[in-house]
Structure 1
Amino acid sequence: MTTTWVPGADDSGYGADNLPYGVFRRPGAEPRVGVRVGDYVLDLAALLGEPEFHEATLNPFMARGAAAWRATRAKISGTLTHADGRARAEPHLIPLAEVEMLPPFAVADYVDFYCSLEHASNVGRIFRPDEEPLKPNWRHLPVGYHGRSGTVVPSGTGIVRPRGQVKPPDADAPVFSASNRLDIEAELGFVVGTPSPLGEPVSPASFSEHVFGVVLVNDWSARDVQAWEYVPLGPFLGKSFATSVSPWVVPLDALGAARFPGREQDPEPLPHLRRRADWGLDLRLDVRLNGETVARPPYDRMYWTPDQMLAHLTSNGSSLRTGDLYASGTISGSGPAEQGSLLELTWGGSEPLTLADGSTRTFLHDGDTVAIIAEADGMGGGGIALGEVTGTVLPAPR
Structure 2
Amino acid sequence: MDFYDQDNIKQLEKWGFEIIKPNYRSEKYMLDLAGLISANIDNCFELFPDWVNWNYIKDLFVIPQYTKKGVLKSEFNIYMKNIEYYPFQMYIHWKPEDHGSILYTDGKFLGIIYRQHNDIFTDFTKYKDAHSETKNNIYDFIDRSYKTAIAVDCENSDVYKLYSVLKNLNQDELSKIEKIVLYDDYHTTSGWDWLEKFTKIPIEHIEVNRVTDQKSLVDIKMTAGVCTDYYENNITSFILVSSDSDYWGLISTLTKAEFLVMYEHSKCGQAIKRALSEHNIYYCSIDDFCSGNIEELKKAVLFSCLEKYLPEIISLNGKELVRKIYEEARISASEKEMENFYDRYIKTLRLRVDNDGNFTVEICK
TM-score by length of 1: 0.22
Higher RCO (CA 8 Å, separation ≥ 6 residues): 1
More helix by share: 2
Greater C-alpha Rg: 2
